[in-house]
Amino acid sequence: MMISAKNVLFLCTGNSARSVIAEGILRHRGGDRFHGFSAGSMPTGKPNPFAVRVLQKHGIETGFARSKSWDEFAGPQANTMHIIITVCDNAAGEICPIWPGMPVSAHWGVVDPAAVTGSDEKIAAAFDVTYDQMSRRIENLLALGDMNETSLKAAIAEIGNLD
């Protein structure tokens, strides 16, 4: 029996760093089981160059990367999202669109590497930490077997408590 892929939407306010990194990792590793997407409530208009760099450093193709509004995923013409994960505390508290299909949602709060100031080395190190956190969380997501919606919601929420 062929199980269709689950669409996962990572949400953040600016859709330039954390959510783009998560999307890239899931696109790279999700195979036929998971398809990654990302968006923001107030997109910055372009991905953070350090986010693009950290993905490329790990061999992840970045042609997908663009900063976009979550409105792209909320309308009737949009792909149905099965899982929605907020990755910043601002997005978790915002009034979200009504998502078609009532997807499972969870919060994976991660410190914003784009807020780090200082040398390029210091900023790049913050993006490395974010990449590592998202990578571990996505590996845990990929390890989940088939489960009912209630169990899936609990398991995805628990992944957000890692680190």
Residue 36 CB coordination number (10 Å)? 23
At residue 8 the predicted structure's pLDDT band, cuts being 50, 70 and 90, is: very high
Q: Which of 13, 4, 100, 85 is nearest to 48 (CA)?
A: 13
H-only helix segments in the chain: 18-29, 49-57, 89-93, 120-143, 149-159
At residue 2 the predicted structure's pLDDT band, cuts being 50, 70 and 90, is: very low
Q: Which of 96, 110, 91, 99 is nearest to 8 (CA)?
A: 99
- All structural domains of the chain, each given as residue ranges with its CATH number in brackets, are 6-158 (3.40.50.2300)
Q: Residue 11 contacts by C-beta under 8 Å, 6 or more apart in sequence?
A: 19, 38, 39, 40, 41, 70, 84, 85, 86, 87, 91, 96
20: left (phi over 0), alpha (psi -120 to 50) or beta: alpha
Average of per-residue pLDDT across 77-97:
74
Query: Can you tell me the distance from the alpha carbon of 114 to that of 40, in angstroms, rounded to the nearest whole number?
Result: 14
Dig out the tokens for 77 from the structure. Answer: 């013409």
State which of 55-59, 73-77, 108-112 shows the largest mean pLDDT.
55-59
| Model pTM score | 0.90
**Could you read off the pLDDT of 89-111 as tens digits, one per residue?**
655 555 566 666 678 888 898 88
pLDDT of residue 1: 40
